[in-house]
Amino acid sequence: MTLAHVSRLRQALREAGFDGWIQPRADEFQGEYVPASAARLAWLTGFTGSAGISIILKDKAAVFSDGRYSIQLKEEIDLNVFQPCHLVTNPADDWVSKNLAPGEILAYDPWLLTEAEVKRFAAAAAKAGGSVAAAEQNLVDKIWLDRPPPPATPILPHPLEFSGVDAVKKQEEVANEIAESEATAALLTQPDSIAWILNVRGSDVEHTPLPLSFAVLGSDASIQWFVNPDKLVEQTRNWVGKNVQIEHINSFADSLKEYNDKSILVSESAPAAALAILRSNGANVIIGKDPVALPKAIKNKVEISGARAAHKRDAKAVVRFLHWLSTEGQSGEVTEIEASDRLESFRRSLDLFKDLSFPTISGAGANGAIIHYRASEAKEFKLQRNSLYLCDSGAQFLDGTTDITRTVAIGLPSEDMRRTYTLVLKGHLALSAARFPKGTTGTQLDTLARAPLWEAGLDFDHGTGHGVGSYLSVHEGPHRVSKAASTVALTPGMILSNEPGYYRAGSFGIRIENLLLVTEIDIPGSERESYGFETLTLAPYDRNLIDISLLSQTELEAIDLYHARVRNELAEYLSDDEAGWLVSATAPL
């Protein structure tokens, strides 16, 4: 089928006078999820992963994705049509520079690429003696006859009992930042930023409760909100302030022509098309950070209480699930999907539950070593005896977003599994216990979570932590904990994950994840404003996987203290059976 799609695309390219097409996975909002109407990469190539890009030339084509999807990529694409490539070791721009012929024109939809991406492809095409060109019409959309309509789900108010701060106050605060950067307005192209600053939520994409829209926030705190008006229920029209001028999303591009001679702040993730319109109409474009990202990341008091409550609620489901895993889950007959369905069913009964916060990663045995594994109905992997089971999952509650990973022994774990689990746990505990002065970034703390693995010559190839939204995206910036350099200081109110891991390809995977809240801490004799973490997630670590001989006294005490807290905070919400199990699961080591 994809062959037919590619043939039609090639014909459309010929008709338009082009020789190739760049099809990224992203849509114009550059978010983690795209609606069905924007799943162009999947429609064209069959590849459904969350990161990727395809280049279609006259007589060859390739799909690029990262290491998480190397197996899935080969399974999903037609290898007679597409060459599967690794985004990092064989980047798409390199491939273009080697495969485009002199004089050929590689076309793209400028709404789907950032300016930096366009520049990279332009340089690659030039190297090959060719060029790139922005297509006036998206050629995939042109040939995709049964393309679903864009989502038009209702946008609802996110009331103050969950959002905590009046939208107008948020808008004024960010407007001051914009004024300080000497811009007259900021272009907001990230839908979660817009959802936050308007105190609204939607359901245009899976797992992240946001409406797809654009906005322009003026330095005078006025807002133009570009949105499909069909999504606006009466309640929401009344909810957003009078300073919010509602415009049809279709008029967004034209509206950008009005910024001639004005300075406008635009983030690096904005579509190249928007920048091209601004620049060609004489706007002074200031490329900067999305000014909403930082204030959104620093949760207010209401959001913090919400996060605590949501995590406590979520923990009931997780502990029931861990109890179930420790009993029925030990049979050797449970499948990965049965397990994740079970967890989901526990979560669905919880108050304020709206959705999972991402597709559950339910990885038995060797599948646990696939970092973003997704179980498939087609292959019924079982949680076999004497193996590890890794489950990374989370929920969207109206009052907060959760994300937790636990790795559990099914049957008897090997010594090697226990040793490596304990090394991962030591890193996880070290990060949780960190105290650090104001100004410290996640990059600086990342090492704490890796040092015990490094000591043994081991490591893991993903970040240690990401920011988490408040009933918003489970992955949000601008802070993170990773090897990659970050200049964003961890600030009280930020929520982030703490998820070191260890993966032995073909054998087993380990990841341990809690969410942390950055808090101010009071250290007697301190000379610096010092911060630390409050752990939000409440669920025991698997004691069968802990090798006590590898732990320091401090680490042992930290585990016992955390386990006691889990027990005390949850016992009353559990059945007798579950509570009984929790008592033994959290007994001092």
CB of 431 to its own copies, least distance (A): 11
The residues of the shown chain that bind its own copies, judged by CB under 8 A, are 434-437, 439-440, 443-448, 451, 454-459, 483, 485, 487, 523-528, 530, 552
Q: Nearer to its own copies by C-beta: 172 or 182?
A: 182
Cis upstream peptide for 478 (omega within 30°): yes
- Residue pair 143/12 in contact by the 8 Å Cβ criterion: yes
CB of 446 to its own copies, least distance (A): 7
Q: Nearer to its own copies by C-beta: 136 or 455?
A: 455
Q: Nearer to its own copies by C-beta: 230 or 459?
A: 459
Report the distance separating Cα 55 and Cα 120, nearest Å.
14
Q: Residue 117 phi/psi, 5° resolution?
A: -65, -45
CB of 284 to its own copies, least distance (A): 15
Q: Nearer to its own copies by C-beta: 378 or 505?
A: 505
Q: Nearer to its own copies by C-beta: 43 or 460?
A: 460
Question: Within 10 Å of residue 255's Cβ, how many Cβ atoms?
Answer: 15
CB of 38 to its own copies, least distance (A): 35
CB of 483 to its own copies, least distance (A): 6
Report the distance separating Cα 16 and Cα 403, nearest Å.
46
Q: Nearer to its own copies by C-beta: 258 or 416?
A: 416
- Residue pair 101/130 in contact by the 8 Å Cβ criterion: yes
CB of 136 to its own copies, least distance (A): 34
Report the distance separating Cα 100 and Cα 97, nearest Å.
6
- CB burial class (10 A; 0-12, 13-18, 19+) of residue 410? buried
CB of 485 to its own copies, least distance (A): 4
Please state the separation of Cα 145 from the chain's center in Å.
Answer: 31
Q: Nearer to its own copies by C-beta: 269 or 444?
A: 444
Quote the radius of gyration of the chain (alpha carbons, Å).
25
CB of 459 to its own copies, least distance (A): 5
Q: In what order do the strands lie in the sheet with 185-188?
A: 244-248, 223-227, 214-218, 185-188, 263-267, 284-288
Q: Nearer to its own copies by C-beta: 116 or 523?
A: 523
Nearest to 216 by CA among 240, 193, 241: 193
Report the distance separating Cα 418 and Cα 382, nearest Å.
21
Nearest to 485 by CA among 430, 447, 442, 448: 442
